[in-house]
């Protein structure tokens, strides 16, 4: 049945942040009713497609009941109110003001359904000068200062991160956390509340070292600087003899000393605080002497925090992760979720 058995969620969201949040709730046993406009939401038509169906849409919305309603139509809106009367959670992802124009203002909804937990996911929150600004993940990274910290490409442009940080780490995950906390609070008080999830604001939580450096008066970090952003030889990527890459992250002194021993780094260079760039160049020269497989063998059994940079195709086939990836009977891949298998009600 899952830990959320008996919880009903009405999902008005589209694309990624809200649908991923409600996918997690559904996997934990909640009944999720996803309301889409007539003809379905935009994600239904986004590639990659299989037999005309969007695989990403299918992965994000498995285990949900799909209901198409025109929320501008009074009759359809009354049908939605009927579902909300029996719901525990409402998730929406409209820009601020849209819910009010549809007659679904959170304050009015809570007057009508005082135990309802309403979760609004937006780029910038319900208030402020950017609140009604349209955007996507890249815009939110730019607005929060994270894109400016990215390593530069050969053209001098910030390298785009390979993950949708704002949508997932700033939106979907905080939404799930907040919803679960609000449901726990409701057990004590009997009352719901309106949750304001601002994806861009939540991005600042992801850069504690950079914020600590900047707010301490030490100067704001630049691209390629800082402990975990390319400024330390102990946290960097090096090229091997066979042109593979090795991620090296022995930050703690005990790991660093084991690493230095393993690559035979001269003692004079092991104190990387004296000449960080000299240490970096010496490490790079030694890593370049052996292949990736040779380094993997050399580091086996040592606490050196070093990992071969695998392609995504290699990673999903690795014995450690292969069990995460499964397919439905219709050939659609199942999205791995950040929940222990013991909490998954639907096996997904």
| Helix (H/G/I), strand (E/B), else coil: 188 | helix
Q: Could you tell me whether strands 8-11 and 31-36 are parallel, antiparallel, or unpaired per DSSP bridges? A: parallel
Residue 28: which of 55, 9, 56 has the closest Cα? 9
User: Is 113 annotated as catalytic?
Assistant: no
CB 64 within 8 A of CB 11: yes
Which value, in Å, is the radius of gyration of the alpha carbons in the chain?
24
Environment class of residue 202 by beta-carbon count within 10 Å: exposed (0-12), middle (13-18) or buried (19+)? buried
| Helix (H/G/I), strand (E/B), else coil: 289 | coil
Which of 88, 137, 139, 167 does the annotation list as catalytic? 167
What sign has the CA pseudo-torsion 158, 162, 168, 173? negative
User: Is 167 annotated as catalytic?
Assistant: yes
Which of 73, 136, 242, 346 does the annotation list as catalytic? 136
If phi > 0 it is left, if psi is from -120 to 50 it is alpha, else beta; for residue 305 that is left
Q: Residues with catalytic annotation?
A: 136, 167
């Amino acid at each position: 049945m899952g830990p959320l058995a008996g919880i009903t969620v009405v999902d008005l969201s589209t694309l990624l942040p809200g649908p991923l949040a409600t996918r997690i709730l559904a996997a934990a046993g909640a009944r999720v009713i996803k309301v889409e406009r007539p003809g379905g939401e935009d994600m239904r038509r986004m590639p990659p497609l299989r037999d005309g169906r969007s695989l990403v849409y299918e992965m994000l919305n498995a285990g949900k009941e799909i209901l198409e309603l025109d929320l501008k139509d009074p009759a359809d809106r009354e049908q939605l109110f009927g579902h909300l009367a029996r719901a525990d959670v409402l998730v929406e992802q409209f820009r601020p003001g849209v819910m009010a124009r549809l007659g679904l203002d959170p304050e009015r909804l809570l007057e009508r359904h005082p135990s309802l937990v309403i979760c609004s996911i937006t780029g910038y929150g319900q208030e402020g000068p950017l609140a009604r600004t349209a955007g996507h993940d890249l815009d939110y990274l730019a607005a929060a200062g994270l894109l400016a910290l990215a390593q530069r490409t050969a053209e001098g442009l910030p390298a785009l991160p390979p993950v949708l940080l704002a949508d997932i780490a700033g939106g979907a995950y905080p939404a799930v956390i907040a919803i679960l906390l609000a449901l726990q609070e409701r057990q004590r008080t009997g009352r719901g509340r309106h949750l304001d999830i601002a994806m861009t604001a939540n991005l600042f939580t992801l850069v504690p070292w950079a914020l600590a450096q900047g707010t301490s008066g030490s100067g704001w970090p630049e691209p390629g600087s800082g402990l975990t952003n390319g400024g330390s030889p102990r946290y960097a990527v090096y090229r091997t003899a066979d042109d593979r890459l090795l991620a090296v992250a022995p930050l703690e002194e005990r790991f660093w000393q084991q690493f230095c021993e393993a690559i035979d780094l001269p003692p004079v260079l092991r104190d990387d605080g004296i000449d960080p760039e000299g240490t970096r160049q010496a490490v790079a020269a030694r890593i370049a002497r052996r292949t990736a497989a040779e380094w993997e063998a050399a580091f086996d059994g040592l606490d050196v925090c070093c990992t071969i940079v695998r392609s995504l195709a290699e990673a999903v086939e690795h014995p450690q992760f292969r069990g995460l990836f499964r397919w439905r009977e219709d050939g659609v891949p199942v999205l791995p979720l950040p929940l222990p298998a013991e909490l998954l009600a639907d096996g997904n």
